Structure 1
Amino acid sequence: MSAMSGGAAAVPNKAENGLYRKVAFRIMPLLVLCYVIAYLDRVNVGFAKLQMSTDLAFSETVFGLGAGIFFLGYFFFEVPSNIILHRVGARMWIARIMITWGVLSALFMFVETPWQFYLLRFLLGAAEAGFYPGVILYLTYWFPSNRRAKMFAIFQAGSPAAGIFGNPLSGWIMDFFDGWNGWAGWQWMFLIEAIPAVLLGLVVIAMLDNGVKDAKWLDQSEKDILARNIAADDGGKSGSHSLRAILSDWRVWQMSLIYFLFVMGQYGLTLWMPTLVRASGVTGNFNIGLLSAIPFICAIIAMVIFSRSADHHRERRWHLVIPAMLATVGFTVAATASSTTIAIIFLSMAAAGVLACAPLFWSLPTAFLTGAAAASGIAVINSVGNLAGFASPYMIGTLRDMTGSSAIGMYVLAACLVLGAAIVLTVPAKMVNR
């Protein structure tokens, strides 16, 4: 191990930084673009709700359950999906995921009943299961721990980017195409926004390499440097191939709980953002889309600042706790905002905090998991954590039907973030600060 570490250390830092920039410029733009489309197809149901619920007579509870049931499909199929990706390679498996979810997303235009809505949301979750944790795993093949927070943040930027561009686009499609060919605006939105997923799936087949050894755009010396750094970084991590060993590791369940609490806030925000903005007094789908983009712009800025600082200082816990508390304040004040301006300011604070948590969080489990253990462990953590994607919108929808307000739901989300931050501080610093 020392020999490998010494070989990596012998590379001039400037040259090594240049190599990692080369890798990032090659693989990250495609992965980010895929995530933008994936996230858009996952949460555009929040925009469709502005027309869909009225057209189909869906209650807030029906919408919340349908929005959340996506994550049950995710839960059941995510671990198998990530294991298959690790075995067969990222290129074909990620392409399969994207093409399948694109087709299913388009089928939402034909929904007429709650049960059709529930079924398609479940199938969409099953089809997309493995994409996000698969990319997290894929990045561990290329980047050592001390470079991952920045890469995770770049990838995770696809989430707010989908909000920045997707929300105005969804609003415009719903307004502009409403009534064309006898279809409602929300039907056109599902169809038009599904097409890029299928096309990008074909691009992935053509452009994505499974790992370092398959990259023809690297010479052998560059491959050796990357491989040595990953090998040195993997020393001391959990590498057991046994799923049973992963499920019996208390650290995996601790990470799952932390992620669950943070995801409660993430999807509570993203799936209900258009509704919250409209409740502040904004009218017109395109106007709602434009204002909904502002919090996501703030989120991208926060993600870059916190992730760069976390990698620079090699400190993970407080860099996760601080944005979680920032989001707590945002949710608490936005819950009872008396004007559109106040609502947007504090929704921006909530978005900046809660969306910055995701890339920062993944620096924790990937600091002690590697190889097949990483494939299984990341998938377990993500699938359990994403059950919050089911619980959060369903909880908010039910509370809105019961109380006629989003305030109590926002307070619950704030409480989840406080608890998650507290648990982060129980994680030993020496385990994650790399």
Structure 2
Amino acid sequence: MALQGEPFSSPVSPVRTGLRAGESGFEEATYRKVAWRLVPLLLLCYVVAYLDRVNVGFAKLPMASDLQLSDAVYGFGAGVFFLGYFLFEIPSNLILHRVGARIWIARIMVTWGLISCLTMFVSSPTWFYIMRFALGVAEAGFFPGIIVYLTCWFPAHRRARMTSRFIVAVPLSGMIGGPLSGYILKTFDGVHGWHGWQWLFLLEGLPSIAVGVLVLLCLDDRIGKAKWLSDDEKALLERNVEIDNAGKESLTFGAVMTDARIWLICAMHFCFVMGMYGVGFWLPTLIKGAGVVDPWIIGVLSMIPAFTAVVMMLGVARSADLRRERRWHTAAPALCGAVALLLAVAWSHDTTLAMIALSLATAGILTTLPLFWCFPTAILAGAGAAAGIALVNAMGNVAGFVGPYAVGWLRELTGTPTASMVMLAGFMFVGGCLALCFPRELVNR
């Protein structure tokens, strides 16, 4: 994950920054050091977080039969996670801003790991809803907290790459979680009298607890507390962050709530999250619908869309940072995802063609995410960033509730996945158009 060695260039003059000629090599080495120290740990956090969040997609295959869950009931239960997430997102992020990332992220991870493990004991649709809601409450504040945390270390022209290396955890968790979940479901079913889906929640929840402890031991709240940095390195990082924040606004919560730019960003995020979770929660079911029945094979095939997404995410984020262009780098993958979703429907009769379409759809949808987060971080700083980014994530994740439920409801209503995939494609198209509506001068830097 080392940073690429392209020369550093800044729109701010050397006189203003106080940088000396020839200091760029030192700067590159410093940011490479920071990236290797922070990003792998944050990536690991998000891998286990996302695994806990979407393993219900694999558990659904046998769980629906054992607990008599219809597609609509499952979709509601998968999505109710985001209701708890939505209600507690802003308070959680404000607490993180006050007490520091190390303690609060560790707390989040330990509690959601415990709740994920306890989900193995659900015995009815009602308890399924309760545990999914509780998981959302526990995890609230994690993702926007990390986005704010990255702004404390990396300036705007480096952030798309860093954010992509964090969010790449989403497809990586699919690459890891798909075969792992399929293996657990197939191998552990019946062990000690437990169903395979019960073992799935237990074994994939425990790593979150362990990583939470690791965060408490290894993560630094801010640059000034990093003992592994020299004084010169700290001075460089703090100066660059200060310059980056110079044109941003530290808005009050009331000002954030009434800023039209923030609500445009919220609408954009809603559209992208509709696509992400609409596909994420239902990918195993879509693969099964293409003619694959073995849980292990379904898990292995789910790696293909995930790998495609990793390649596209990293490549597009690098291009966006080098060109300092965000709008088209966000809109183009969104439109690609929309078209591929429609192709997945048209090619659903052929497993190979369906997997190609699902891979392109997943890659296009997930690639929008790291680029999208350049929009709110381009205009917000300080406590305003904590509140604003939490609001954006909370409002966007309403789609995390609406998307899976709407997909399940439409599948049950029509008996086919066609209507649900067309709906998701429509949201991705609208999200791409909204990205192009954002003022160019605010985000292209």
TM-score by length of 1: 0.98
- Is the CA contact 1:8–1:229 (under 8 Å) kept in the aligned structure 2? no
Q: Given the alignment, which residue of 142, 146, 156 partners 2:167? A: 156
SS in 2 for 1:335: helix
- Is the CA contact 1:5–1:229 (under 8 Å) kept in the aligned structure 2? no
Could you say which residue in structure 1 is the equivalent of 2:297?
287
C-alpha displacement of 1:404: 1.1
C-alpha displacement of 1:336: 3.0
**In the alignment, structure 1 residue 130 sits paired with structure 2 residue 138:** no
C-alpha displacement of 1:333: 0.7
C-alpha displacement of 1:13: 1.8
Q: Given the alignment, which residue of 386, 394, 409 partners 1:383? A: 394
- Is the CA contact 1:256–1:381 (under 8 Å) kept in the aligned structure 2? yes
**In the alignment, structure 1 residue 323 sits paired with structure 2 residue 336:** no
**In the alignment, structure 1 residue 114 sits paired with structure 2 residue 93:** no
- Is the CA contact 2:17–2:239 (under 8 Å) kept in the aligned structure 1? no
With over 3 angstroms needed to count, the CA separation of the structure-2 counterparts of 1:119 and 1:4, relative to structure 1, is: farther
Could you say which residue in structure 2 is the equivalent of 1:335?
345
- Is the CA contact 2:185–2:197 (under 8 Å) kept in the aligned structure 1? yes
Q: Distance in 1 between matches of 2:26 and 2:88?
A: 41
Q: Distance in 2 between matches of 1:188 and 1:72?
A: 26
Could you say which residue in structure 2 is the equivalent of 1:301?
311
**In the alignment, structure 1 residue 144 sits paired with structure 2 residue 155:** yes
C-alpha displacement of 1:424: 1.1
Q: Distance in 1 between matches of 2:297 and 2:240?
A: 48
**In the alignment, structure 1 residue 165 sits paired with structure 2 residue 176:** yes
Q: Distance in 2 between matches of 1:384 and 1:36?
A: 23
- Is the CA contact 1:4–1:228 (under 8 Å) kept in the aligned structure 2? no
TM-align CA RMSD:
1.2
Could you say which residue in structure 1 is the equivalent of 2:110?
99
Unaligned runs of 5+ in 2: 1-11
C-alpha displacement of 1:15: 1.7
Write out aligned runs for 1:344-423 (5 A): 344-423=355-434
Q: Distance in 2 between matches of 1:276 and 1:371?
A: 42
Q: Given the alignment, which residue of 194, 197, 201 partners 1:190? A: 201
Aligned partner letter, 1:293: M
C-alpha displacement of 1:366: 0.5
With over 3 angstroms needed to count, the CA separation of the structure-2 counterparts of 1:384 and 1:8, relative to structure 1, is: farther
Q: Distance in 2 between matches of 1:304 and 1:400?
A: 33
Write out aligned runs for 1:227-266 (5 A): 227-240=238-251, 242-266=252-276
With over 3 angstroms needed to count, the CA separation of the structure-2 counterparts of 1:72 and 1:7, relative to structure 1, is: same
Structure 1 stretches of 4+ moved >4 Å: 1-4, 8-11
Write out aligned runs for 1:79-98 (5 A): 79-98=90-109
Q: Distance in 1 between matches of 2:277 and 2:15?
A: 42
Unaligned runs of 5+ in 1: none
Q: Distance in 1 between matches of 2:19 and 2:406?
A: 49
Could you say which residue in structure 1 is the equivalent of 2:214?
203
With over 3 angstroms needed to count, the CA separation of the structure-2 counterparts of 1:171 and 1:218, relative to structure 1, is: same
Aligned partner letter, 2:266: S
**CA offsets per residue over residues 277-333 of structure 1, 9 Å max, x none?**
000001211100000110010000000110000000000000001100110111001
- Aligned residue pairs total 433
SS in 2 for 1:364: helix
- Is the CA contact 1:97–1:127 (under 8 Å) kept in the aligned structure 2? yes
Could you say which residue in structure 1 is the equivalent of 2:281?
271
Q: Distance in 2 between matches of 1:213 and 1:252?
A: 30
Aligned partner letter, 2:202: L
Q: Distance in 2 between matches of 1:218 and 1:188?
A: 42
- Is the CA contact 2:14–2:20 (under 8 Å) kept in the aligned structure 1? no
Q: Distance in 1 between matches of 2:19 and 2:128?
A: 52
With over 3 angstroms needed to count, the CA separation of the structure-2 counterparts of 1:144 and 1:8, relative to structure 1, is: farther
C-alpha displacement of 1:421: 1.1
Q: Distance in 1 between matches of 2:384 and 2:15?
A: 21
